[in-house]
Amino acid sequence: MTPLPRFHRLPAERQEAILGVARAHFAEHGPESASYNKIIEAAGFSKTAAYQYFDGREDLLAAVLDDVLDRLLGVLGPWTPARDEAEFWARLEAGTRALVAHLQAHPDDLALADAAVGRARGGAWLGWFQAVVEDGQRLGFIRTDVDRALLAGATAAVMRAADEWALSALRAAHPTTTQLTTHPTTASPTTTHPAAAAPGSEQVWSLLRGLWSGGTDGGLGRAH
């Protein structure tokens, strides 16, 4: 289920504007409850015109969720093989921080992230984590006695829970923070007021180490 070809012939700015309006409505009211009529009215066209671009509400929702997933994957960027374990962990941490920063700065994406990942049923999202697991196996510190797809799925679930946990911790520690941005060179989050980093991230790495090593991490966290 995808937008009709005429939607893709719209200027990119118009496509983004339509998806942005729809994303805000679905995020505020929920994927199951947002009004299709109110969305298309807010987007600036009639219901008759809307059917030139989408088959209906579910078609529009699918387009929004696909766009959210693309935005999240764009923040992470493609995973390429690391030179060593230290670089592996540094890049994984940078990617995680960048994703938390994006979700903090874009609450609509945060509200729809689970639905977007669920719609993907693995796909490119799970593929990113499969690439991470495969790279760690190549470097010799991720277990190989568990099916790679299963291990990648478990890793993705841990990282998604970690994102939610980090955002909750940041909101609790800095309730006046209004935006989280990413430093262009380190991909570390900084806030407009006050500055903050995701707290307790060493717990996440320890959890992953335990998952990836078969529970033999011993609470030491990262390997480097």
**Which residues 6+ apart lie within 8 Å of 69 measured at CB?**
116, 117, 119, 120, 124, 125
- Type of residue numbered 8: H
pTM (2 d.p.):
0.80
Q: What is the pLDDT, as a whole number, of residue 202?
A: 83
Q: What is the dihedral of CA 132, 66, 20, 195, to 10 degrees?
A: -10
**Which residues 6+ apart lie within 8 Å of 170 measured at CB?**
100, 104, 177, 180, 196, 198, 199
Check if the beta carbon of residue 192 is closer than 8 Å to that of residue 178.
yes
Between residues 178 and 137, which one has the greater pLDDT?
Answer: 137
pLDDT band at 131 (very low <50, low <70, confident <90, very high): very high
The answer to which of 116-125, 152-161, 168-177, 208-217 has the lowest mean pLDDT is 168-177
Question: Considering the chain, what percentage of its residues have pLDDT values greater than 90?
Answer: 59
Nearest Cα neighbor of 157 from 85, 105, 208 is: 208
Q: What are the sequence ranges of the domains in the chain? A: 5-66, 77-213
pLDDT tens figures, 71-108:
999 999 999 999 999 999 999 999 988 998 999 899 99
How far apart (Å, rounded) are the C-alpha atoms in residues 68 and 59? 14
Check if the beta carbon of residue 198 is closer than 8 Å to that of residue 97.
yes
Please identify, in words, the CATH class of the domain defined by 5-66.
Answer: mainly alpha
Check if the beta carbon of residue 116 is closer than 8 Å to that of residue 66.
yes
pLDDT at 197 over 90: no
Q: For the residues of 104-133, what is the DSSP string, one character each? A: HH-HHHHHHHHHHHHHHTSHHHHHHHHHHH
pLDDT tens figures, 140-181:
999 999 999 999 999 999 998 888 888 887 666 655 444 433
